[in-house]
Amino acid sequence: MLNKYIIGFIGIGVMGKSMTRNLMKAGYKVNVYNRTKEKATELVAEGATWQNSPKEIAESCNVIITMLGYPKDVEEIYFGDQGLIENSKLGTYLIDMTTSSPLLAKQIAQVAQSNGLYTLDAPVSGGDIGAREAKLSIMVGGDEKAYNAIKPIFEALGTNIQHLGLAGAGQDTKMCNQIAIASNMMGVCEAMVYAKKMGLDPTKVLGSISTGAAGSWSLSNLAPRMIKGDYEPGFYVKHFIKDMGIAIESAKEAHLELPGLTLAKKLYEELSARGGDHYGTQALIEILENK
C-alpha cells in the first residue's frame, strides 16, 4: 500500500529538492528538514510538511532519507541524543543517500540494528538532471529484505536501481562511479579545449564524437554547458573533491593506488583555490584552458 510510509527528507539542496518533489508526485506524504529553512519554502508551499529538527523528523516518520553534504554531517544527523538513531521509532527505515564513507555506512548499520532500525546506504548518480527527471542511478547497500520493502520509494526517484550487497556496498559502488567520472571529466575538458585551439566548432565536434566510442554521460550532458560557459552546479566542485578524498582513503586501506583520480583531485583543488567550490564539476575546463 503506497501511503503506509510517511517519509522524512533531510537535506534540501540541488538534488534533495527535486527528489522530494518526485516523492510527493508519487503520492507519498513527505516531512522535510533543512538547516537553512528558506531552501524548503517552495516544497512546503507545494504540500511538504516542515519539521523543526531531525528529532521531529524521527518522531513523525517511518522512512527517513538523508541527502547531506559531508560524512561529518551524516554522523551528526544520525548519532547523538538528538540524532535519528536515538529518536526513531522501532522498525523505521533510515536511508542515507549522501555520498559518504563506506566505513561510516557500516557503523550506522551496526548501531541502528541494535536499536531495532533498518538502514540502507543508497548514494546516487545522475546530477541535477537525473534528480529532476527521476532518472537517478541508485546504488544500494544493506539488508536485502529492507531493500525490497523500500524499493518502490527508490523507483519514484530513479530508473537504474541496484542492490549491491551488505552495508557499505552502496558507498563503495559510488566510489567506483566517482573514480570513473574523475578521469573521464579530464578527458572531456581536454577534448573541448583541443577543439577550440584547433579552430573547430566545439558544438559540431561534440555532435560528432558523443555517439561514438568517446560517448559518456559527462560528454553528452556537461560538455554543452562547458561550451556555453555555464558552470551552474548539477554537482558542486566542493562535494566532488570530498568524494575523491573518500575514494583515495578507501583505496589506501586496500593498498591500491589510483593515479588518475589523484591527478583529477589535484586539478579540482586548483579550481577550488580559485574560488570554484560552488561551481559545477564542468568548470574544470577553466583550469585546463589555462595550463
- The residues annotated with a catalytic role in the active site are 174
CA 233 to chain centre: 13
Measured between its terminal Cα atoms, the distance across the chain in Å is: 57
Where on the phi/psi map is residue 9: left (φ > 0), alpha (ψ -120 to 50), or beta? beta
Give the C-alpha separation, 275 to 236, whole Å. Answer: 12
201-211 per-residue burial string, b: 16 or more CB within 10 A, e: under 16 = ebeebbeebbe
How far, in Å, CA of 133 to CA of 21, rounded? 10
CA dihedral 239, 12, 125, 30 (to 10 degrees): 160
Give the residue among 2, 23, 3, 4 at the shortest CA–CA distance from 12.
23
Evaluate whether 126 touches 154 at the Cβ level (below 8 Å).
no
Which residues, other chains included, contact 7 with Cβ-Cβ below 8 Å and sequence gap of 6+?
A: 23, 28, 29, 30, 31, 61, 63, 64, 65, 153
Beta bridge partners of 136: 158
Query: Are the C-beta atoms of 143 and 118 separated by less than 8 Å?
Result: yes
Sign of CA dihedral 226, 258, 140, 101: negative
Beta-carbon contacts of 50 under 8 Å, excluding residues fewer than 6 positions away, are: 31, 32, 33, 37, 40, 44
